[in-house]
Amino acid sequence: MAVNSSFTEEKKQMNPPLAGCDMENESEKDADQNEEMSEISESPESVSLADASAEKATQGTDTDLEVEGPEAAFGGIMGTEMYLEACRLMKVVPVSHFIQNLAKPYVNLNHRGLGPKGVKAIAIALVSNATITHLELEDNCILAEGAICIAEMLQENSSLQELNISNNHLDTAGAEAIASLLLDNLSYLHALKLSGNNFGDKTASYFAEALMGNYRVKDLDLSHNEFSEKGGQLLGEMLAINTALEILDLSWNRLSRKGTVALGTGLKGNGTLKILNLSWNGVSNEGALALGEALKVNNVLIHLDISNNQINNEGAKKLCRGLELNAKLKILKMANNPLTVEGATALVTSVRKNPKSMMEEINISNVLVNETFIKLLDLVCRTHPELDVNYGEVEGCITKIPKQHPDPMKVIQNYLKEHNLRLWDFFRNIDKDGNMKIPVATFRRAMMQQSSIPLDRVQIGELVRKLDRNRTGVVDYSHLKEQKPAQKPVEGETEEEKKEEP
């Protein structure tokens, strides 16, 4: 995508260089007033950002930030002083939370009502900031004007790696500014959230062209952006060429059948994408077929979310054609599709048919299953012990008394007590890496394969939910580390007498 000349002209009109935002020389009178305001400023050492920009220009080249450092590049105006000066020029109230966190790597300014001018002041301060690596600016109504200013800042800043500017009404001009930045690989961003910015299909061409050659961004969120089939086709073409993206969120768009088919085609040749979210897109059975064909050859994708996509049993069976051959996918989310036990059975059977399957989780939480399905799942889990299927109710259980299972943790504790073992030792035996954090799949597999403690699949699932309450995918047992118990005093001996002993 060539940089739009109208975009360049718009930057000149709306956004002078960042170091001098809103410092237009409308008249000599305005210049005199600015000079007078500078003289009576609270900080006598502060200078106008226009002067700082001019000083930077006289000092050297575009690499001033790298060679001479931020202080030299901006004439000694740094951090809080620079931000306060920028706020004065923008005529906005400084955000104290930003000032307090200028020296920290993570800054959250979501929902602050900054507006375009407020975010310009922040952008000015960030040009030379070398500590902030993750910035949250969601829901601040920064508009295209603010996005352009952020894009200009990112051309100079070499520290910012994660940026969230979702829900900011960036529209087409804002999308073009960000896409131009990505096209030229001018920023160091590797995670970018752009959800809910009214982009639409026109901007899909900007992002598609930019991402074809971008080698920095690994995590991209374009959800809630009204992309339709055309947008999906363009992004699918990008996916076939991109060599950097590892996480792509396109949920809550309108990609429909043609858009999903194009993405499926792109997945066939993609060698980096690990997580793809296509939920709420009207994928339908044709889209499921395309994704199934992609899974036959794709050997990178590990997480696919196609929840809420009007995929019925027929579509599930088409997807299973790929699952029967795929040796990489671990997580498949298909909740809230019109599936029945027939589709659920097809999904589990595809894992059974694939000896190389790495599947760890299938989410079909809305599907009513039956006892036959449960027996099949138990059978499959013998050869794939790490598999966890999240299904709905079991048919007939409403009228029957549910089978009571002993508390799995109590079962483990009773076993350990009988064998004079500690709970800490129990987890350490499972933890091959010794870092006190066990992946849920590894823990589930170890529990299914051991024969000493009588726990079935349902009990193990309950145990996992207790040990991983926040669904992090990891069982953290570091809090169970036992300290050596204090020696009890001999009968008749006081604590004070014991302390006095040599």
CA distances from 168 to 86, 117, 211 (A): 21, 13, 21
**Residue linked to tokens 């920023």:** 187
Domain assignment present for 22: no
Predicted pLDDT of residue 362: 98
Rounded to an integer, what distance in angstroms lies between the CA atom of residue 222 and that of residue 227? 9
Q: Give the β-pairing of 219-221 and 191-193.
A: parallel
Clarify whether residues 468 and 345 are in a common domain.
no
Rounded to an integer, what distance in angstroms lies between the CA atom of residue 458 and that of residue 158? 50
Facing residues of 394 across strands?
Answer: 369
Predicted pLDDT of residue 481: 65
Rounded to an integer, what distance in angstroms lies between the CA atom of residue 498 and that of residue 502? 9
Predicted pLDDT of residue 398: 53
Predicted pLDDT of residue 397: 62
Clarify whether residues 186 and 217 are in a common domain.
yes
Clarify whether residues 110 and 247 are in a common domain.
yes
Clarify whether residues 246 and 285 are in a common domain.
yes
1 contact partners, CB below 8 Å, separation of at least 6 = 179, 180, 183, 205, 206, 209, 210
Per-residue HEC secondary structure of 205-246 comes to HHHHHHHHHCCCCCEEECCCCCCCHHHHHHHHHHHHHCCCCC
Residues spanned by the domain of 170: 102-391
Predicted pLDDT of residue 403: 59
Domain assignment present for 173: yes
Per-residue pLDDT of the chain in tens (502 residues, 90 and over written 9): 543 433 334 334 334 445 444 433 333 334 444 443 333 333 333 333 334 333 433 333 333 333 233 344 344 578 899 999 999 999 999 999 999 999 999 999 999 999 999 999 999 999 999 999 999 999 999 999 999 999 999 999 999 999 999 999 999 999 999 999 999 999 999 999 999 999 999 999 999 999 999 999 999 999 999 999 999 999 999 999 999 999 999 999 999 999 999 999 999 999 999 999 999 999 999 999 999 999 999 999 999 999 999 999 999 999 999 999 999 999 999 999 999 999 999 999 999 999 999 999 999 999 999 999 999 999 999 999 999 999 999 987 654 555 567 888 888 888 888 888 888 888 888 888 888 889 988 988 888 888 888 888 888 888 888 888 888 889 888 877 654 443 444 444 444 444 444 4
Domain boundary among 356, 391, 426: 391
Domain assignment present for 204: yes
Q: What CATH number has the domain bearing residue 312? A: 3.80.10.10
484 contact partners, CB below 8 Å, separation of at least 6 = none
**Residue linked to tokens 């922040």:** 122
Clarify whether residues 365 and 228 are in a common domain.
yes
Rounded to an integer, what distance in angstroms lies between the CA atom of residue 82 and that of residue 18? 12
Token reading at 233: 């086709």
Clarify whether residues 273 and 324 are in a common domain.
yes
Domain assignment present for 265: yes
Q: What residue type is 305 in one-letter code?
A: D
Judge residue 496's burial from the number of C-beta atoms within 10 Å of its C-beta, 0-12 exposed, 13-18 middle, 19 or more buried: exposed
Predicted pLDDT of residue 465: 86
Clarify whether residues 348 and 416 are in a common domain.
no
Query: Are 80 and 43 in contact, with CB atoms under 8 Å apart?
Result: no
Token reading at 339: 């599936």
Domain assignment present for 441: yes
Clarify whether residues 385 and 322 are in a common domain.
yes
Clarify whether residues 381 and 458 are in a common domain.
no
**Dihedral sign computed on CA atoms, order 49, 79, 127, 118:** negative
Q: What is the pTM of this model?
A: 0.79
Domain boundary among 363, 391, 419: 391
Query: Are 313 and 283 in contact, with CB atoms under 8 Å apart?
Result: no
Facing residues of 369 across strands?
Answer: 394
Predicted pLDDT of residue 352: 97
Token reading at 100: 């307090």
Rounded to an integer, what distance in angstroms lies between the CA atom of residue 12 and that of residue 2? 18
Clarify whether residues 449 and 386 are in a common domain.
no
User: Which ranges of 155-310 does DSSP label H, i.e. alpha helix?
Assistant: 171-183, 200-213, 229-241, 256-269, 284-297
Rounded to an integer, what distance in angstroms lies between the CA atom of residue 171 and that of residue 79? 31
Domain assignment present for 10: no
Query: Are 63 and 86 in contact, with CB atoms under 8 Å apart?
Result: no
**Residue linked to tokens 């768009």:** 253
Number of domains in the chain: 2
Query: Are 211 and 245 in contact, with CB atoms under 8 Å apart?
Result: yes
Domain assignment present for 248: yes
Rounded to an integer, what distance in angstroms lies between the CA atom of residue 309 and that of residue 321? 18
Rounded to the nearest 10 degrees, the angle between the axes of helix 171-183 and helix 5-14 is 110
Domain assignment present for 356: yes
Predicted pLDDT of residue 73: 37
Rounded to an integer, what distance in angstroms lies between the CA atom of residue 258 and that of residue 232? 7
Token reading at 353: 């048919």
**Residue linked to tokens 């931000």:** 83
Clarify whether residues 362 and 422 are in a common domain.
no
Clarify whether residues 429 and 381 are in a common domain.
no
Q: What CATH number has the domain bearing residue 433? A: 1.10.238.10
* DSSP summary character for residue 18: G
Predicted pLDDT of residue 127: 95
Predicted pLDDT of residue 454: 85
CA distances from 87 to 21, 136, 157, 212, 360 (A): 10, 19, 19, 37, 51
